[in-house]
Amino acid sequence: MWSYQHTGFTVHQLPVLRDNYIYLIESHTSKVLIAVDPAEAVSVRQACKQLSKPLTHIFNTHHHWDHTDGNLSLKKTFGCQIVGAACDTERIPGIDIRVSEIAPPTIPGLHVAVLAVPGHTSGHIAYVVDDALFCGDTLFGGGCGRLFEGTAGQMWQSLSKIATLDGHVKMYCAHEYTLANLAFAASVDADNRVLAERIVADKALRQQGFPTIPSTLDSEKNTNPFLRPLNREFCHNYAAAHGVQNEAGVIFADIRRRKDHF
């Protein structure tokens, strides 16, 4: 378990399954302890024991089993409240609190905003807790989620929305896919020096057994090929090199398509 200090709360990171991360958000000013996307229950129970605190909430970003499988077991143990997208209530096991952009959850001691970010699934949401972003399978380190239920246009809108957040925001995504994503990134953004530096740094982290997550939104904007279309020069060069229209959404769709076959 790794822990990251924010003002007013701590984020604990639990590596589970093959490459998933579960996060625990521990408020410093209330009894609130939230599990974000509990893929399973055992490691969350263990962490709660370690922190000597019961789980009060679960935040689900979307309905996939590797984000919700711990829901019912943890609810049984702790009687915690399960928070999920109002537009996806049928698919979030045990949902208690239905949230949306205009109806975020009220959590004692924490300021929580909700972003609708469809693309990976139609009901995918992200949680912004001050300067911490919990984005599930929408944005990854150096990558983005596959388009299971949405269009490239929807995903591009969702990522563009996330990109409006401050560059210092810490990005806590739900999978450790960074190195594989960056290998692809290098294939479509070969001249990017910041990307080359990130690859060296993140490889070293993994070799030493550390996570590459959280990263920052600034780092993602500079190196993530799925946010790079926000940069005009990148678009200009990409369009010329690949013979596609010089338009951010079109370029995003082309990069997403290429990644599926990489």
Q: Is 175 a catalytic residue?
A: yes
According to DSSP, the β-strands at 2-6 and 9-16 are: antiparallel
Q: Is residue 137 a contact residue for Fe ion (CB under 5 A)?
A: yes
Helix-strand-coil split of the chain, %, nearest 5: 40, 25, 35
Beta strands in 101-257 (DSSP E): 112-116, 125-129, 132-136, 139-140, 143-144, 170-173, 215-216
Tell me, residue by residue from 98 to 137, as one string, x for binding to Zn ion by CB under 5 A and - for no binding. Answer: ---------------------------------------x
Q: Is 62 a catalytic residue?
A: yes
d(CA 237, CA 246): 9
Binding test (CB under 5 A) with Fe ion, winner from 30, 66, 122, 231: 66
Q: Is residue 40 a contact residue for Fe ion (CB under 5 A)?
A: no
Q: Is residue 26 a contact residue for Fe ion (CB under 5 A)?
A: no
**Residue number, 137 or 254, with CB nearest to Fe ion:** 137
Taking Cα atoms as reference points, which of 160, 153, 212 lies closest to residue 181?
A: 212
d(CA 9, CA 170): 13
Q: Which of residues 57-96 bind Zn ion (CB under 5 A)?
A: 64
Q: Is 236 a catalytic residue?
A: no
Q: Is 124 a catalytic residue?
A: no
**Residue number, 137 or 220, with CB nearest to Zn ion:** 137
Query: What DSSP element (H or E) covers 88?
Result: none
User: Could you give the residue numbers annotated as active site?
Assistant: 62, 64, 66-67, 120, 137, 175
Binding site for Fe ion (CB under 5 A): 66, 137
